[in-house]
Amino acid sequence: MSNLRVMSVFGTRPEAIKMAPLVQELSRREGIDSICCVTAQHREMLDSVLRVFSIQPDWDLDIMTPRQTLSTITSKCLTGMDEAIDQLRPDLILVHGDTSTTFAGALSAFYHKVPVGHVEAGLRTYDKYSPYPEEMNRRLVTALADLYFCPTENNRQNLRREGIEKEIFVTGNTVIDALKTTVRKDFTFTTELLNHLPYDSRKVILVTCHRRENYGEPMTQIMTALRRITEDFPEVELVYPVHLSPVVRETAEKYLGNHPRIHLIDPLDADEMHNLIDRCYMVMTDSGGLQEEAPALGKPVLVLRRETERPEAVAAGTVKLAGIEAENIYRMAAEILTTPGIYSAMARAVNPYGDGFACRRIADAILWYFGRGERPADFRG
């Protein structure tokens, strides 16, 4: 029997971080040839992840341009994938999450009649425009996929309600697998500032903010609140690794620049970021991935969005939705900063998103799908 050719397709930072441990797991598996095709929807931020996890892509579409539009990303991915699939001849294509790369990768697989496995399947807000365009991307990929790897039981229920019955696996989120390899108590940062932040004597708040639906007024509100929090609480030290999107960088510089306790820094490598989460006081973010990582490391999170497709950590009490209005964000952050009981109730390590064995389950499920192994047991959070 010849080896299964499993092609992982990804292109942005979060997909890369969450697919990296899976690519590593697939490479170790007997009976599987792991192939890696990157779209490079993100260039520098993708390359950083590939470096940290020592992954060398077999194919690189290299599509990124400054201020790219959703249409150009999708069309360039689709065109580029034609040749990649023709040359690499995969038996299965894996896509991750909800980016434009994810959608185009799944659509291209369908055009070539290659089955699709969707990693991180079943997340939903049921609001078409929030997150935008991610909510539609993941729903469209649900329609295109053949195998579904859901992080949680709740994600599986979402798919069931939409009429998907078969081939759903609850695996946990692969990001928890990644964290197991990156977080170390004796970690030394290459970004020198992070070795010297006053983690014990001050309250280091880690911030990220990049979502398209927050561009414009919401981002202005968010950043206004962040500045006020820093100004009103002298014990706060704010660290914000700023996304490379020019829109985000201009807004961050305008509202948060030139303050001695606000550190606007370049994007961090994944291992640096994970260790910074581990050492900070709390996280304020509109990121999806950070809502999973911070709870696992026992850090409170205020989500700078109107909704979340990750309700599990909200239910566990570690994450709170702060919305996108300055007044509310300020009030909720102030409450945590001034009420030790509220802080400690949130600062408990919870792991609704995984036990660190998601990649093993996904590889087992793939072998099962092709009739070459046992069906893996589901992750139970």
Active-site residue list: 98, 120, 134, 210, 212, 243
Q: Please, which residues have CB within 8 angstroms of residue 318's CB and are 6 or more apart in sequence?
A: 294, 295, 298, 299, 300, 301, 346, 347, 348, 350
Does residue number 44 form part of the binding site for ligand UD1 (CB under 6 A)?
yes
Closest separation between CB of residue 306 and ligand UDP, Å?
A: 15
Residue 378 contacts residue 38 (beta carbons within 8 Å): no
Strand runs (DSSP E) across 57-212, as ranges? 59-60, 92-96, 116-119, 147-150, 168-170, 203-208
268 binds, among ligand UDP, ligand UD1, none (CB under 5 to 8 A by kind): ligand UDP
41 binds, among ligand UDP, ligand UD1, none (CB under 5 to 8 A by kind): ligand UD1
208 binds, among ligand UD1, ligand UDP, none (CB under 5 to 8 A by kind): ligand UDP
Q: Which is nearer to ligand UDP, 208 or 230 (CB)?
A: 208
Does residue number 41 form part of the binding site for ligand UD1 (CB under 6 A)?
yes
Q: What is the spatial distance between Cα 239 and Cα 248, in angstroms, rounded to a whole number?
A: 15
Closest separation between CB of residue 54 and ligand UD1, Å?
A: 19
Q: What is the spatial distance between Cα 112 and Cα 197, in angstroms, rounded to a whole number?
A: 51
Closest separation between CB of residue 38 and ligand UD1, Å?
A: 12
Judged on CB neighbours under 10 Å (0-12, 13-18, 19+), 87 is exposed
Written as six digits, the tokens of 116 are 């699709």
Helical pair 13-28 and 358-369, crossing angle rounded to 10 deg: 60
Does residue number 12 form part of the binding site for ligand UD1 (CB under 6 A)?
yes
Does residue number 191 form part of the binding site for ligand UD1 (CB under 6 A)?
no
How many Cα atoms occupy the beta-carbon half-sphere of 339 within 13 Å?
A: 10
Report 80-119 residues binding ligand UD1 (CB under 6 A).
98-100
Closest separation between CB of residue 289 and ligand UDP, Å?
A: 3
Count of residues binding ligand UD1 (CB under 6 A)? 24
Q: Which is nearer to ligand UD1, 250 or 327 (CB)?
A: 250
Which contiguous run of DSSP H or E holds residue 46?
Answer: helix 44-52
245 binds, among ligand UD1, ligand UDP, none (CB under 5 to 8 A by kind): ligand UD1
Q: What is the spatial distance between Cα 348 and Cα 351, in angstroms, rounded to a whole number?
A: 10
Does residue number 265 form part of the binding site for ligand UD1 (CB under 6 A)?
no
Closest separation between CB of residue 232 and ligand UDP, Å?
A: 26
State the binding string over 134-163 for ligand UD1 (x if CB under 6 A, else -): x-----------------------------
- The secondary structure of 139-170 as a DSSP string is HHHHHH-SEEEESSHHHHHHHHHTT--SSEEE
DSSP 8-state class, residue 380: -
70 binds, among ligand UDP, ligand UD1, none (CB under 5 to 8 A by kind): ligand UD1
Residue 159 contacts residue 142 (beta carbons within 8 Å): yes
43 binds, among ligand UD1, ligand UDP, none (CB under 5 to 8 A by kind): ligand UD1
Helix or strand or coil: residue 271?
helix
Helix or strand or coil: residue 263?
strand
Closest separation between CB of residue 161 and ligand UD1, Å?
A: 24
Helix %, strand %, coil % for the chain, to 5? 45, 15, 40
Contact residues for ligand UDP (CB under 6 A)?
Answer: 13-14, 17, 208, 210, 241, 267-268, 270, 273-274, 287-290, 293
130 binds, among ligand UDP, ligand UD1, none (CB under 5 to 8 A by kind): none
The 10 Å CB-count burial string (b at 16+, else e) for 164-196 is: beebbbbbbbbbbbbbebbbeeebebebeebee
Q: List the one residue from 8, 39, 142, 245 that touches ligand UD1 (CB under 6 A).
A: 245
Q: What are the residues binding ligand UD1 (CB under 6 A)?
A: 12-14, 41-45, 66-68, 70, 73, 98-100, 133-134, 210, 212, 243-246
